[in-house]
Chains A and B, each alone.
Chain A
Amino acid sequence: MSAAALGLGRIVRADLRHHRRSLAGVFVAIFVASALVTGLGVLVESGIRGGLAPERYTAADLVVGAAQQVDVPEDLPVPLRERALVPADAAREIAALPGVEAVVADVTVPLAVPGGAVPDAVVEAHPWPATALTGFTLAEGREPAAADEIAVTVGSAHRLGEAVTLAHGGSPATYRVVGVVAAPVAPDRSIPVFLTEDRIADLDPRGGIPHALGVFVDGDPEQAATAIRESFPALVARTGDARGDVEFLDSGAARTLLIAIGSAFVGTCILVALFIVSGTLSLSVQSRRREYALLRAVGATPQQVHALIAREVLAVAALAAVLGLAPGYLLSSVLQSAFVAGGVIPGDFALAVSPLPAAGALLLVLGAAWGAARIAARRPARLDPIEALRESSTGPGPIGLPRVITGIVFAAAGLSVSTVPLVVRGDAAVGASAGAALMLIVALALLGPWLVSLCVRAVGPALRRLSAAGFVAAANTAVGSRRLAAAILPIALGIGLGLVQIGGPAIVSAEAANQARAGVTAQLRVSGPSGLSPDVVEGIRDVSGVDAASGVVVSAAVLDSRDIEGKTVRAEYALQGIDPGTVDGLLDLKVRDGALGALDGDATVAVSTDAAQSLGIRMGDTVTGVFGDGAALDATVVAVYERGLGFGALTMDEAQVRAHTTSGLDSFALVSTEPDAAATVAALEAQGLVVTPASGQKAAGADAVSQQGWVNLVALLVILGYIAIAVVNTLVMATGERSREFALLQLIGASRGQVRATMRTEAILIAAISMVFGVLVAIPPLMGMSYGISGQPIPAMPVLGSLAIIGGMGALALIALRLATGATLRRRPIEEIGSRE
């Protein structure tokens, strides 16, 4: 043995070996955090680098399209939902660039097969020159030359020379198959057919302006792409796999969503990990308080206590974090499936996998572990040795006055913020509810032990009279209210958070559905597989039995507004197009100011009360932004209506809105009929149209809401899962500490069954108190939001979901204590009582 200076390493290693069990909770929490952050990191990276591989643009060297997003200063860009068009002269100018051999314009016109074997089959018609983009070559026949000639792909059911009827927007036309084309790799996502350029220009409501340009170059495609980007900063040029970004509209939106959601989740995960690790660590540290008191007495400085705890935690965390990386990559596929199921991203979106997420996860998770160690070490490091020794025998005293006051302040704040939705509408209301819930949760965390001891004192007398087990349980809980609170608070938190998370969106969508139902006064809703053209809507009016018919377009717009600090905020709003002349009696938006009749052209707009408040505008003000395809929008408010949740935030003249959608067609038509409508329905269906009762209308923007709901659900499951870990760990550790107590009870004469009964009583008490607290925390924000949004004080909660959350979290306590008690009772009492711990 040398005379060299001794270090703390020996103590750290000895502690790790000796206190394995108490650090198990930290291990599990870090392991799960590491897996989650890695999986989410893969999603974020996929948002940046992944996407859909091109299918139809595989033969072109590079593809040029218009920008499909709106930039927002200091924030993620907002994707455009409708296809933005490439300026007409861009093709000519690009063809003039050096190195460019050819430029081919692509237009997509959706056609549907009316009736027939597959009633909803939609094909995409392109101009004949677009065959070059995929490498289609003629296998049989020739290229179409007349307006009624069509070329199909090899896999089609139609043969050369056959007549095919395809409807555009509901109006059918017949074509003759004059050619069959084949490509090296056939597209999967769509069925292409080819018509003459002139026919396409006729059919396309937007006049055949290119959706994208395929460019063929000699030399390096990437160089050419850079040159094009420099010459045309408003256009987007993509090579390689990124060509899929231009081909598929939903790819860009999916990427933005993945980045936004992924990053937000990572933040939440790290915070929750910090919370849970510092919680379980505090328990572990608390159970070793005598040791820390001794260390301080012998002469350890606060820094040395911090260092000891930090090194122990980091040793455990490093191992757990590394082990969690591989499962994290597996988890990313699970998360991907969840998002695909929720309609957030397309099913064939390819993930980008690299070591980056693993590196990022290690950094973040270990950072969180270190942070948690600092928090947990504050207490043992700061106490005076005598205080520490005194405290270690009797346990920490009652919570101090500053904490109680802070808790009451938070509770009051939470209650008052809960009433914000009564005066503010829209997104701010939802945000306020979430904020109120958070404040109440913090109040609960601060006042928890005090509230728990109140409950226990209230319930105690009844418990005492119940049975011997109840008597012991009552005594235990009276003394150990802090220990009880440590278990109750996470469960109550999970319940409160869970109820608010599922309640908020439920309230909004319930009200939206109500509004949609109340506002549609038409009887029928008529649509086609890919939309209705205005001619078809005219034709519907001529069908016998139809009183009135009006076309409706559902799209979106991105509007500018200013936030509190004066920064420009851009957000997407649902935009509805109606025909003010024919919509009376079919749609009731509950107009409060102005009149829908004033909607005319693209410079007038009607807004909902929610949107008016979000944007900070009134009658006569101007809204600025862009339509769904990026074209400038500048309109004056001529009416304000109330049913914004059901029908969308903005309403304009439908001809204007239609001009800025991908297909240029109406989404559906609302039709009112005579009382007995059976014959009318049959007549409409004979035309190849789809007829449904109008009352089944989905609220505008319902898709976006359900996407958000899915995301929230996944986030909620993550958080609840974490809380479950914390709760189980807390209860197992706390029960393990009481092993001598159990031993004593058994030696005195209690049977194992009675000891179990005691613990069961405590478990039921914990579960009951947590459920009550959790529900109480959720009620004010939910009620406020419900009253503000729908005027009903009782929130429309999903019954099954709420019961699942409340019951599931409550059951956690019962299960955890059952397991922990069973484990603790395994040692023989006589051995246990003599143990020196």
Chain B
Amino acid sequence: MTSLSSTPLVEAAPAEALRLSGLVKTYGSGSTRVTALRGIDLAIARGSFTAIMGPSGSGKSTLLHSAAGLDRPTSGAVHLGGTEISALKPRQLTAFRRDHVGFVFQAYNLLPALTVEDNITLPLRLGRQPLDPRWLETLLEAVGLNDHRHRRPAELSGGQQQRVAIARALITRPHVVFGDEPTGALDSRTGKQVLDLLAHTAKELHQTVVVVTHDPVVASHADRVIFLADGAFAGHLDGGTPQQITDRMSTLGEW
């Protein structure tokens, strides 16, 4: 088990956007118990773009869900933007997630009944927060969907839909944006566009981004790649090329 808690990535001083301490997640009980995470320690600095990679069954999605406050860990603590979310009650957790976390799923990110604009502002609507129209314009520009703001998801391509999802994830200026295989359902060219966008926001908007992926090309966009195998850390790689990442993955065992 490698611990990274003492290795800040960028310049000193900014608080860590995300810290995991001794995160353990098990399912079931008795003879059918499955341990998905075996005690993860992790710190992610603000403004960084991190990728979590691992073969299927390594626990990376479980890690993401726990870190994002979508699931409760069995034991251990999760600190997001300074708040220990693992100690929050469900209602508070929901509110925290709404106001401070952005999430992009692989697919089915949007409500089919709402327009692009309404989908993006959904978290604000749920939180009864006021909308800053200029911020909305900025986001629409950033994702390149200004002309499509009144369209419905059914009229958009897969890549456009993911870009809307990213804009929604950013509208509340969250502590962290999490992505679960955000480009998994897209072709390579569209996927690259989406990834560039994610990396760009991380830099321009000082936004922290954490994505889970099994695609080395996706991972190569990140500042740091963290490897997971069998629910535990299996090393990291900073600024690697896709080939390096692939080689590293193959040493982890089954692809």
Most interface-central of A6, A18, A290, A301 (chain B CB within 10 A): A6
Most interface-central of B97, B118, B126, B131 (chain A CB within 10 A): B126
A836 interface hit (Cβ, 8 Å):
yes
B94 interface hit (Cβ, 8 Å):
yes
Which residue from B98, B105, B128 sits with its C-beta under 8 Å from A6? B128
Q: Which residue of chain B has the shortest Cβ distance to A388 in the bound complex?
A: B70
A274 CB to closest chain B CB (Å) equals 27
**Within residues 149 to 191 of chain B, which ones have a CB less than 8 A from any CB in chain A?**
153-154, 168
Assess A837 versus B112: contact at CB under 8 Å? Given A304-B126, A385-B70, A386-B65. yes
Assess A18 versus B126: contact at CB under 8 Å? Given A1-B131, A6-B121, A385-B70. no
Q: Which residue of chain A has the shortest Cβ distance to B161 in the bound complex?
A: A836
B129 interface hit (Cβ, 8 Å):
yes
The answer to whether B70 and A297 touch across the interface, beta carbons within 8 angstroms, is: yes
The answer to whether B94 and A299 touch across the interface, beta carbons within 8 angstroms, is: yes
Assess A14 versus B114: contact at CB under 8 Å? Given A386-B65, A386-B70. yes
A342 CB to closest chain B CB (Å) equals 49
Interface string of B100-142 (1 = CB under 8 A from A): 0101010011111111001001111111111111000000000
Label chain B's interface by main secondary structure. mixed
The answer to whether B132 and A3 touch across the interface, beta carbons within 8 angstroms, is: yes
Q: Which residue of chain A has the shortest Cβ distance to B168 in the bound complex?
A: A298
What residues of A have a CB within 8 angstroms of the CB of B115 in the complex? 14
Separation of A385 and B153 alpha carbons in the complex (Å): 21
A291 interface hit (Cβ, 8 Å):
yes
The answer to whether B111 and A6 touch across the interface, beta carbons within 8 angstroms, is: no
What residues of B have a CB within 8 angstroms of the CB of A271 in the complex? none
Assess A11 versus B95: contact at CB under 8 Å? Given A298-B123, A836-B153. no
Interface string of A685-711 (1 = CB under 8 A from B): 000000000000000000000000000
A4 interface hit (Cβ, 8 Å):
yes
What residues of B have a CB within 8 angstroms of the CB of A11 in the complex? 111, 113-114, 118, 122, 125
The answer to whether B126 and A299 touch across the interface, beta carbons within 8 angstroms, is: yes
Separation of A291 and B122 alpha carbons in the complex (Å): 12
Interface string of A280-308 (1 = CB under 8 A from B): 00000000001100111111110010000
The answer to whether A386 and B71 touch across the interface, beta carbons within 8 angstroms, is: yes
B113 CB to closest chain A CB (Å) equals 3
A15 interface hit (Cβ, 8 Å):
yes
Separation of A808 and B105 alpha carbons in the complex (Å): 48
Q: Which residue of chain A has the shortest Cβ distance to B93 in the bound complex?
A: A299
A117 interface hit (Cβ, 8 Å):
no
Q: Which residue of chain A has the shortest Cβ distance to B62 in the bound complex?
A: A386
The answer to whether B113 and A17 touch across the interface, beta carbons within 8 angstroms, is: yes
What residues of B have a CB within 8 angstroms of the CB of A17 in the complex? 113
What residues of A have a CB within 8 angstroms of the CB of B215 in the complex? none
Q: Which residue of chain B has the shortest Cβ distance to A389 in the bound complex?
A: B105
A10 CB to closest chain B CB (Å) equals 6
The answer to whether A7 and B70 touch across the interface, beta carbons within 8 angstroms, is: no
A binding-site residues for B, Cβ under 8 Å: 1, 3-8, 10-11, 14-15, 17-19, 290-291, 294-301, 304, 384-386, 389, 392, 835-837
Further pairs besides A298-B168, A392-B108: 8, Cβ < 8 Å: A3-B133, A6-B125, A11-B118, A11-B125, A291-B111, A294-B109, A294-B111, A299-B98
* 12 A-B interface contacts by CB (under 8 A): A10-B125, A11-B118, A14-B114, A17-B113, A18-B113, A290-B108, A298-B98, A299-B94, A304-B126, A386-B70, A835-B154, A836-B112
Q: Which 6 A-B residue pairs are closest in the complex by CB-CB distance?
A: A299-B98, A18-B113, A6-B125, A14-B113, A3-B130, A299-B97
